[in-house]
Amino acid sequence: MSLQLTAPVHIAPNADQLYDDLAADLSRAATEAVRDRGLFHLALSGGSTPEPFYTRLVLDPRYRLLPWQAAHLWIVDDRRVPEDDQKSNVRMIRESLADHIDIKKRHVHAMPVMEDDPAGLYEAELRRAFEQGADDAPQRPPALDYVLLGMGEDAHTASLFPNSPALDEAERWIAVNDGPHVTPPDRVTMTYPLLNAARRIAVLVTGSKKSATLRRIEAALADGSADKSALPITGVQPCGDVMKWFLDAEAAGDTDN
Ligand code: 6PG
């Protein structure tokens, strides 16, 4: 069973194997980033799919050797709720991963979701970490070393929901996303310009519930009707060999496994 999506597709027979394959990819990227640039800028998604993967990174001795001391951890998107809310992505990422690894506390960059201008503040934090000028002029987005994305059944990724305003953001790196097309509560999200500037993007999708969405994306790509307004994940199109889909057999619709 193969799927033609926006980038190469890796299919593992089960979620457990998939987490190992993804962890190996992440480890390689981390090692290279630290070797070449001395730092590893990692951006992680929330949602339910990656949580067991984060736990695996903590518990499996092979991945405890990741160069966390040199890592900066960014959040792909979050809900505008206090950090102790069950719906907070950074809460889940801290509890499943960041609280248990050897990362500097100040290198865990929560989105300032409760502030008036979370997008501007988070961009400023990115600029500081990437040592870009502090002025407000639009600049080329920084290249995050590794971005882990998920996908909803409606083909949203990050908090880029079908037909929602943040899809049209062409300059800012971070946007608030709200309105009738956004599943509440309001969100703060990385935008296409920032995501598409990444050095590596992995899209993790597991479970049979996402299988029909992947088929819909495949069909839209094949007949040329794929459109980021309807299928936001198809707007993630970095140049070159940057992106890879990581699917388990259930998501891929491969029921023989
Ligand atoms: C979030 C995410 C979001 C997620 C998809 C898939 O906060 O919800 O960052 O983009 O990846 O909604 O969510 P599940 O993994 O829960 O299916």
Establish whether residue 152 lines the binding site of ligand 1, counting it when its CB lies within 6 angstroms of any ligand atom.
yes
DSSP class per residue in 191-208: -HHHHTT-S-EEEEE-SG
Q: What percent of the chain has pLDDT over 90?
A: 92
Higher-scoring residue by pLDDT: 139, 227: 227
Strands 9-12 and 108-109: unpaired
- Please check the confidence at residue 150 and state whether its pLDDT lies above 80: yes
189 CB less than 6 Å from ligand 1?
no
> What does the pLDDT average to over 211-223?
97
Between the CA of 35 and the centroid of ligand 1 the distance, in Å, is: 31
Q: Is the pLDDT of residue 134 over 60?
A: no
Least confident of 23-27, 102-106, 154-158, 253-257: 253-257
Instruction: Sort strands 40-44 and 146-149 into parallel, antiparallel or unpaired.
Output: parallel
| pLDDT value at 257 more than 50 | no
1 pLDDT more than 70:
no
Per-residue model confidence as pLDDT tens digits over 59-108: 999 888 899 999 999 999 999 999 999 999 999 999 999 999 999 999 99
What is the structure's pLDDT at 131? Answer: 83
Q: How far apart are alpha carbons 134 and 190 in whole angstroms?
A: 19
Would you say the CB of residue 49 lies under 6 angstroms from ligand 1? yes
207 CB within 6 A, ligand 1:
no
Average predicted confidence (pLDDT) for the chain: 95
Average pLDDT over residues 170-189: 97
Task: Decide if pLDDT at 252 tops 80.
Answer: yes
Read off the tokens for 194. 């920032």
pLDDT (tens digit per residue) in 230-243: 999 999 999 999 99
How confident is the model over 5-19, as pLDDT tens digits? 999 999 999 999 999
For the stretch 70-83, what's the b/e string if a residue is b when 16 or more beta carbons lie within 10 angstroms of its beta carbon? bbbbbbbbbbbbee
For residue 2, the model assigns a pLDDT of 83
Q: Is the CB of 174 under 6 A from ligand 1?
A: no
The confidence score (pLDDT) of residue 133 equals: 62
What is the DSSP code string of 33-53? HHHHHS-EEEEE--SSTTHHH
Probe target for ligand 1 pocket from 19, 49, 205, with the most ligand atoms within 8 Å of CB: 49
Between the CA of 39 and the centroid of ligand 1 the distance, in Å, is 27
Q: Is 253 in the pocket of ligand 1 (CB under 6 A)?
A: no
Average pLDDT on 122-148 reads 85
| pLDDT value of position 138 | 57
Pocket probe for ligand 1: among 18, 75, 85, 157, the residue whose CB has the most ligand atoms within 8 Å is: 157
Compute, in angstroms, the gap from residue 116 CA to the centroid of ligand 1. Answer: 24
Residue-level pLDDT at 112:
98
- Yes or no: say if 56 and 64 are a contact pair by the CB < 8 Å rule: no
Give me the pLDDT at residue 172, please: 95
The rounded distance, in Å, linking the Cα atoms of 159 and 177 is 7
Number of H helices, E strands in the chain: 7, 10
